[in-house]
Amino acid sequence: MSIPFLDLKAQYMQIKVEVTDAIQNVLDSTAYVLGPSVSNFEEKFAEYIGVKHCIGVNSGTSALHLALIALDIKAGDEIITTPHTFVSTIWAISYVGAIPVFVDINADTYNINTNLLEAKISNKTKAIIPVHLYGQPANMTEIMKIANEYNIPVVEDAAQAHGAEINGLKVGNFGKISCFSFYPGKNLGAYGEGGALVTNDDAIAERCRLLRNHSQPEKYFHNEVGYNYRMDGLQGAVLGVKLKYLDSWNSRRIEIASMYNEAFSNYVNLSIPKVLDNSKHVYHLYELGFESNEKREVMIMKLNEKGIQTGLHYPIPVHLQKAYKHLNYNEGDFPNTEKAANTLLSLPIYAEMTNQMVEEVIKIIIENA
Ligand SMILES: *Cc1c(COP(=O)(O)O)cnc(C)c1O
């Protein structure tokens, strides 16, 4: 049995008729950029998250960039986040000339360690960007307590966490602005690039709506330096169809994760993800931890021999990337991040996986554990 890491085709086949119809409508209407399919999706996604505004853009990276512009982040400002994330989180900080200030992650949730956060706040700190990594909410209760005390705005990077919750409240509700990605492999994915910002702040929403479209309130009048970060009509149409299935797809991911958890929890040399109380983890990725990089390498090979694909998220932390050499961080600066980079393995997890496929992955791992 061959088990791919992700199977976008299997999902497409289930919604083919509906999605083809929606795409055909956009083609017939020629509303290729923004237009009704995008505003329709924005309305539905805002309602789904439970916020006032959603602004569709052309990627999650663009959403993060606009969020920082909308908060008036300037060159030399400091922004606190974690080095254990997809590099986009940090790109946005660089795009506005700000300086990323890293805080290590927790060894078991892989999200920002809130006990280390306060010590990194300075008078230059102008935002905090928690990442809901792998689909698990960061500890927003603690983060908001600290952020409110110092009056620092929070931007949630929710690119991997569509539908994740804390105490029944969806991520995207905690920060001043929250950013989502609709890259095809995300829990809610477009058929191309896509992203969105959500916020309850009317002024920020209005400004981001303009910024994404050349800051053009009226044709050929430009308020400030703008961007072409608009969402395509076709992506809006696809996302509008797929949003209806997000909860059921997330439920299936959670089911698969509990099968993995149950199977691996008794093996002392394997570590399963820890989920905080009152949190709903939506398992964009399922991370299995090994004792060492070598043990992980052996497992990757054994799985590969049986046709099972895995992934690494992320093998080189941001503070050790060549692009961020100038920040002068060293190996050893963020031990939990570095350990996660060296020992976590992403197992296949997607709604279309059958129980038989999940059991096959489990069987091969246990045979080699
Ligand atoms: C995917 C992702 C992004 C960027 O989204 P794109 O749509 O690919 O630009 C940002 N942050 C995190 C944590 C992501 O996983």
pLDDT at 319: 98
The domain that holds 310 is classified in CATH as 3.90.1150.10
pTM for the whole structure:
0.98
160 Cα–ligand 1 center, Å? 7
Instruction: Tell which one of 79, 87, 89, 187 to mutate to probe ligand 1, the residue whose CB is within 8 A of the most ligand atoms.
Output: 89
pLDDT at 1: 82
Distance CA 328, CA 337 (A): 16
Residues 216-242: tens digit of each pLDDT: 999 999 999 999 999 999 999 999 999
Question: Could you write out the DSSP letters of every residue in 299-347?
Answer: HHHHHHHTTB--B-S-SS-GGGSGGGGGG---TTSSHHHHHHHHHEEEE
pLDDT at 16: 98
86 Cα–ligand 1 center, Å? 6
The domain tally of the chain equals: 2
322 Cα–ligand 1 center, Å? 19
Average pLDDT along the chain, 369 residues, taken 10 residues at a time: 96 98 98 98 98 98 98 98 98 98 98 98 98 98 98 98 98 98 98 98 98 96 96 98 98 98 96 96 98 98 98 98 97 98 98 98 97
In a domain, 141, yes or no: yes
Q: Is 329 in the pocket of ligand 1 (CB under 6 A)?
A: no
Nearest CA to ligand 1 atom 6: 60
Q: Is 159 in the pocket of ligand 1 (CB under 6 A)?
A: yes
In a domain, 184, yes or no: yes
Tokens of 48: 């789904």
84, amino acid identity: H
Same domain? For 65 and 160 the reply is: yes
* Boundary residue ending a domain (244, 263, 293): 244
Q: Is 224 exposed, middle or buried (0-12, 13-18, 19+ CB in 10 A)?
A: exposed
179 Cα–ligand 1 center, Å? 9
Q: Is 195 in the pocket of ligand 1 (CB under 6 A)?
A: yes
In a domain, 75, yes or no: yes
Same domain? For 277 and 257 the reply is: yes
Same domain? For 212 and 80 the reply is: yes
Q: Is 158 in the pocket of ligand 1 (CB under 6 A)?
A: no
* Boundary residue ending a domain (211, 244, 277): 244
Same domain? For 139 and 202 the reply is: yes
In a domain, 332, yes or no: yes
Same domain? For 78 and 218 the reply is: yes
Tokens of 157: 């990077």
Same domain? For 193 and 222 the reply is: yes
180 Cα–ligand 1 center, Å? 7
Distance CA 328, CA 325 (A): 6
- Structural domain boundaries enclosing 324: 245-368
